[in-house]
Each structure stands twice: as C-alpha cells, then as structure tokens.
Structure 1
Amino acid sequence: MLRVLGPLLCALWLLPALAQERQERIVESVLPALAYGPKCSSTLQLHNLSERSVILEVEGHRSGGGLVPLAGHASQTIRMNGAERVSYKLQIDEETTSAWAKVREIVPSPRLTPAVAVSGTTECVIGDQLRSTAREPAYPIRNPWFAGNVSEIPSEEILVINTSERAATAWLCYSTGNLYAIPSETRPTQLTHLCSSEAVVQIPPFGTHQFSVQRDHNSYFSLKTAGNGIVLQMLRLLDATVRLYKVDSSISFGHEEPADPR
C-alpha cells in the first residue's frame, strides 16, 4: 500500500504546479485612429523583443465596428520568431480616420512576460509633402471618463472606441461655467457644472465615435462612459485638408477600478 501511495501523493503534489505551468493569458492593446483613403495610409508595426517564438492575433475594425482583414495575410493569427519585426496594413478601401486594430498577445506561461512591442504610423500626402504621425498603443479599461476646462484641453476632439462585443454608452456635458449644488445632510455640499448642452450616445459593439470638445462657446467639457472595454484618445487636427489627426498621449483619463478578487 505504501508503494502505491508514494507515487500517488507525489503526482497529486505536482498537479497544481503543472496546472499553473500550462496557464496562458492574453495581453490586449489597441492602435487607434488609423487613417485610410486616397491620400492616407496606416501601418501596424510589431517587434518581438524576446528570443522565443510568439503568437499574436490581430483584429482590424472599420470605424463602424465591422471586421477587416490584414492586407496580404490570410488570417488574424501571426506567428513571430525571436527578435522578428513585421508590418501590416488593414485592407480598407474607403476613406476613414477612425479605423482601429486590437492586438492580442498569447503569453503561454505565468513565468513569461509580454514580448511584443506594438506601434503604428499614419501617413498622408499633403500637396507635395508626406506627413507622418505616430500611433501609440492604448489599453481598454472599464468606464473611463474625462472632465476639464476647455482652455486647458490642447485637443479639439475626443475619440471613443468600444472594443467589446456589447454596446457602450457615452454621456456628454457642455457647460458655460454655471454651477449648482444639492444640499445634503449626510455629505458635504458639492458644486456641479450645469450642462447648457448635453447628449447621450450609444456606441455599437466594436464601434467608434468622435466628439467635439467645444460646442456653443462652452468653457467646461465632460465625458462619462459605461462599457467593459473602452479606449479614450484625444485628437489634435494637424491638417484639415485630409483630416490628419495627432493622438495626444499626454492626456490622462479617469477610470473605474476593477473589483478586488479577494
């Protein structure tokens, strides 16, 4: 009996370690505001910084949410060798400034870290010049929000990307500076901006929407969202003739912290 129990106990002791070794996870990033059309094109750049092979899934979307393939690549799956660099474009014929791509890196073991650097570039022909602007990866979060005085916002528009398969909601408030307060016996009275213009917008699964920061001479702007995987990006117009935008990564957004699993 002891001869049987010995190997059995050893196997049971190794099971949790083997299960943990086989656990894989997926790291998601998003390249936003990809422009395509007669004068513009965007490129996704992927660089494997490790010496091991890596498997990626690249999911391209039109601004309305529809899937698009990678030009010259038959599937969403990309296998990269160690230290390899690859570049892809989305296969989009129509003119757009709000296409986007989701990059999912499959990390096969808890002991390994993500290995692929994701970046992008949008190029537009303006007259006899080629203008280029970088696209940095963003990361979907739950219910992000933004609020601020218009005079302190260096961008003209804010881009909302719903990366999930469920619809999301955006609440917008444009205020001319008027404030109001609701007295309360249980908490300190807080001043709140009175919206002179407001809107509620539904964003479809995998869809995008651009909102102007300014409307009717407002001095204050706020945006709240409800959705499990939303990306917010501030856009600054570089050239109006082709609507070439620069993504302003200096702006930080509030978000809802996930529940503590403990």
Structure 2
Amino acid sequence: MSTAARWRVGLVVALLVVLEVASRAAWINPVSFIPPSKMIASAWDLLVSGQYANDIALTLSSALCAVALAVVAGFAGGVLLFRLPRVRRVLDPLLLSYYAVPVFVLYPILIVILGLNRWPLVAIGFLFAVVAMAVNTLNGLERVPRVLLRTARVCRLRTLDEIRLITLPASLPFVFTGIKLTVVYAFIAVVAGEFVLSGSGFGYQIAFAYNNFDNPTMYGLMVLMLVFVGTVNALLRAAEARLYRRIRREGAA
C-alpha cells in the first residue's frame, strides 16, 4: 500500500472514530444520527437477513446496465468526436453545459418511450454518465502522441487495430478515469431516481426508512450502498493497475 493510500485509510478511520465518539457522547443529536458501529451492524443484519435482496438486486442491475451502456456509447462517442473535429466544435458548448441540465425532468418522456418499468431509471443513469465517459475518452485521445498515429497510417492499420494497439493503450489513464466516473454517476442517478420516481430499489427503501424514522435501516442501507460502489471502484483500480503493469512489461520487452 502506498503512502497516499495509507493516509486516506487513516483519515477515514479517524473520521469514523470522531463520529463514533461524538454520537455516543450525544454531541450529535442521537435521534437523527446513530454511531457508525451501529450502522455497520445494521448493514450486516440487513445483508444476512435477505430482507432487501430484491431491492438490492434491482438497483445494482439497473446501475450496472447503465454503466455498461454509458461506457460503450461514451467511448464510441469520444472516438467519433476525435475523428470528426467539425462535429466536436459544434457539440463543445453542449458538452460543457451538459450537467447544468436537470436530467430527471426527462423521466415522464422516458416512461412514455420505454414503459413503466426499470428502463427509464437505466436511461437516466445512462444519460447522467455517458458524457463523462465521452469527454474523458476524448481527452485521452487528444494526448496520444501524433507520431504514433502517423505510424499507424504508414503501416496501414485498420481502424479497429489502430484503436486496440495504439490509441487505447496510450489513452488508458483517461479512459479508466471515465469508467470510474461513469460508475459513480450512474449509481447516483439510479439511486436518486429511486428516491422520488420508483416504488422499489435501494433509493426507495432508504427514503421509506427515512420517512418512518427507521434510522438503523436507513443508515444500514446507505452503508451497503457505499460498500458496493467502493468495491466496484476497487476492482476497477486493481484492473487498471494490472493493465499498467502489463503495458510496462510489453514496453520493456
């Protein structure tokens, strides 16, 4: 573990300890906030009981579907914008102001188009995440050394081979940043949509527990959500580090 990682872990642990002491000493209102240890215990009990297994599966499947669609479409969109600079100049102002648009107002339209099911929430997660992936892909492609692209043209590589052998490895840090942002944005959009637009899922159950003053359930579900999202990001970081090591070995060879 690197020094920076140890510092991050230490800061998180210190914050949890401070919250634990503050909540048990009633420095924080105990009616609205419970100690982190009770949150973790509640999260474990909820996970073991299986009471919310269907809601957890619904949210995770919807968010992961939105992530997959956003990664594929965002990467393709970034490549197209890189290949078509005129189109990019037209769309640049829209991309810069995209997150100022309240995506959730499109939910009624998405219901009409996709039906009264989970797909409108998937679509909201997709719309919220796809631009982050496209912009990061575009930023990565812009930083590919031009000499490599000219070499690909001299060697008459096909477009897919050029992407696989040159542009993707060279832009990998930005692409992985886009994927990680896509995961975060998709989960935020799906869970936030479930808060107000759904009758099931993580977000709905958290809102239901909040409205019924069921703090252990509410905080337990929040802890489970943080664990799931953190696990996905940790897996992405591990895959990213593995790919970097492989590229360095191939470069050294």
**What's the TM-score bracket when you normalise by the shorter of the two chains?**
under 0.3
TM-score (norm 1): 0.22
Query: Higher Cα Rg: structure 1 or 2?
Result: 1
Choose between structure 1 and 2 for higher RCO, CA contacts under 8 A separated by at least 6 residues: 2
Greater fraction of residues in strand: 1
Greater fraction of residues in helix: 2
